[in-house]
Amino acid sequence: MSRRVPACSPSPLKHPHSAADPRLMRTCIVEPTPALLRASDLIAVAGDHLLKGNRGLASEALVDADDPELLDLFTWATTPRFRGGVPRPSREPLPRIEQPRRVQPPISELRRLHERDGYRCRYCSIRVIDREVFARLRRLLPKAVRWGRTNVEQHAAFLCLRATHDHVLPRSFGGANSIENYVTACWLCQFAHGDSLLEDLGVEDPRVRAPGIDGRDGMRGVLRLKPQ
């Protein structure tokens, strides 16, 4: 039984090309633009082609998803100037807490997290691609999933749509490195969240909503495929 995938809602961090319906409640940090939604669909289509053995069509869909507009979106969402536009808290800032170095969760924990969250960003609901699937896509179709050292050399859609784990309560405010404090996020929402408190961004805690499970498996079926 699949659950309804919640729609994205207006965000205080609104990109000019945002597609979200302003009548809905605020849940997003960064709203997906039409170009990002299209790229997400194309990646899913590519996954379906791969599973049917049609690598040529999969490659075409992935090349199509590599939209330069998404590099602009990524740059916009991740620059300090943009984050500087975050609304200021109306109260005294909370004391920040010095934490030990950030710990990368084991791959098994990330897998469990992304599965729990339906392979979607818990803020903006867009489909995300986990690390293992992304690595396999690069091996299967290295020309279509270009990945160099700098952002401009990297596939623009995967820049935005790789799955990350976001600390709902930032570590600088005492947030734990635990699956209870993590949510799956796209890179745009994760970067823009940064170490701000969600309430200071005017964004609802995503854990109050059930994850949107739509029966898709985050394209994990491609992990069965071997490079030719």
Size of the residue set binding Zn ion (CB under 5 A): 5
What is the dihedral sign for C-alpha 118, 76, 190, 24? negative
Q: Tell me: does residue 121 bind Zn ion (CB under 5 A).
A: yes
| Beta carbon of residue 76, minimum distance to Zn ion (angstroms, whole number) | 14
The beta-strand segments (E) located in 130-195 are 164-167, 182-185
Residue 165 phi/psi, 5° resolution? -110, 125
| Beta carbon of residue 32, minimum distance to Zn ion (angstroms, whole number) | 7
Cα–Cα distance for residue pair 196/178, rounded to 1 Å: 18
- For the segment 147-166, give every residue that binds Zn ion (CB under 5 A): none
**With respect to Zn ion, which residue has the nearer C-beta, 47 or 206?**
206
| Beta carbon of residue 188, minimum distance to Zn ion (angstroms, whole number) | 5
**With respect to Zn ion, which residue has the nearer C-beta, 159 or 189?**
189
- Return the range that interacts with Zn ion (CB under 5 A); candidates 5-13, 71-79, 145-153, 181-189: 181-189
Question: Which residue type sits at 36?
Answer: L
Structure-token pair, residue 171 = 């570590």
Nearest to 160 by CA among 124, 108, 118, 205: 124
Instruction: Name which position in 74, 119, 123, 182 contacts Zn ion (CB under 5 A).
Output: 123
Q: Tell me: does residue 189 bind Zn ion (CB under 5 A).
A: yes
Instruction: Name which position in 8, 168, 186, 192 contacts Zn ion (CB under 5 A).
Output: 186
| Beta carbon of residue 128, minimum distance to Zn ion (angstroms, whole number) | 8
Cα–Cα distance for residue pair 193/50, rounded to 1 Å: 34
Cα–Cα distance for residue pair 85/94, rounded to 1 Å: 19
> Which residues of this protein are in contact with Zn ion, per CB under 5 A?
121, 123-124, 186, 189
